Amino acid sequence: MKYIYIKTWGCQMNEYDSSMIVKYLEKTGQYLITKNSEKADVLVLNTCSIREKAQEKVFHQLGRWKKLKNKNANIIIAVGGCVATQEGKEIFKRAKYVDIIFGTQSLHKLPKMIDEVEKNRKFVIDISFPKLDKFNNSLTITNKGYTASISIMEGCNKYCSFCVVPYTRGQEISRPSDDVLFEIASLAENGIKEINLLGQNVNAYQGPTFDGKICYFSELLRLISEIDGIERIRFTTSNPLEFSDDIIEVYKDTPKLVSFLHLPVQSGSNKILQLMKRSYTTEEYEKIIEKLIKARPNIQISSDFIVGFPGESKKDFKETINFIKKINFDMSYSFIYSSRPGTPASEMKDEINIKEKKERLYILQDCINKQTMSWSRKMLGSKQCVLVEGTSKKNAMELYGKTENNRIVNFHGSPKMIGKFVNVQINEIHTHVLHGKLL
């Protein structure tokens, strides 16, 4: 038996991909997963290229692994994910001790690629986009917990000016609806209660059906809600362009779909949205939110924001802050703009100094944090349905679980409740966690 160590950077899709890699390797019966890199025979780095200096981060990690390979020449080093797809052979040119480079769509080939390196001791690369091969070769992911993520589609056709995803993940392609439903049903049989649907533009899902028709995202949500054992449905990440009325209608009649939505807007300035090639306006985004609130009055919205995009004036930034307050976002992921090689935005003139960008990010995050606390305070004294996931990390005498609106709640209860839904009354509000009393 050989030991495999996997290091994962990036989004939930990357985490999902790594879980698939584990299953492909375990299926061969030749490998065991280890959490100790120094014990490993094969080192796998699953990368992300969204953030600035992603490539440098990769080479810093590879430099640390090089020391392990200097001690043991038989160690195999494999680099996968978005940076691998984007950089390809350039990684090997700079780090000749790397043995394997595999792409986001070829991770199912990793076991054979490892075998090839062991036999021939030659560098192997496969960063092709063989469409659904990755999913056709997928295995049901069995989780030890009670929540699970499942990829239902991959890639992006939007080509936002700042984003590398279309180049690293390819064009949008949806898994057949029957495959998705079968995998979720299998997870439910293994005790999964909450499912999170993944995709770069998850609401653009158009999966082929067994009879040659198309299953749209709204229909898929309703079909999943009929699966016994699945009590909660989440999805990420959505694009406002694809958030059609038929999806909004699902919020009216499908209570298993949570009253919490992550819908990235990126900026509150129409000028910046146009430069980003987001193809919608703040007014159009606001109409979507209005329809959602009408369909589900208690829904809470989180979003993504990029601060300091090339051309963003103080007026543009002020418009973003005003928009945040107007929509009353609950949470957000917010970042300073970082230029990604090969994207149209990388050619734009960036005249905003880093100090100004950091100040804007602080103001934006402070605004969001205040709104997050305001939403949390509204929960004080309320009854919340909590999926109990285990014992609290800080207090073994307490249980913890997650509310429908993504809050962690600690409370006293019996270990027999783990894996079940219970009602908890919220009696304490803290920045990152709530405390409650079992009802």
Binding-site residues for [4Fe-4S] cluster sit at 11, 48, 82, 156, 160, 163
76, with CB counted inside 10 A (0-12, 13-18, 19+), is: buried
Measured CA to CA, the distance from residue 21 to residue 44 in angstroms comes to 9
Are 436 and 424 contacting, i.e. CB atoms less than 8 angstroms apart? yes
User: 146 is written with which tokens?
Assistant: 């009670």
Q: Are 74 and 91 in contact (CB under 8 A)?
A: no
Binding residue ranges: 11, 48, 82, 156, 160, 163
Residue carrying structure tokens 């495959």:
179
CB 414 within 8 A of CB 430: no
Contacts with 330 (C-beta within 8 Å, 6 or more apart), sequence order: 260, 300, 301, 302, 371, 372, 375, 405
Please tell me the distance from the alpha carbon of residue 300 to that of residue 260, in angstroms, as a whole number.
Answer: 5
Task: List the one residue out of 166, 89, 71, 164 whose CA is nearest residue 125.
Answer: 89
What's the CA gap between 17 and 14, in Å, rounded? 5
- CB-based contacts of 48: which residues, under 8 Å, 6+ apart? 9, 10, 11, 14, 54, 81, 82, 83
Q: Is 259 in contact with 405 (CB distance < 8 Å)?
A: yes
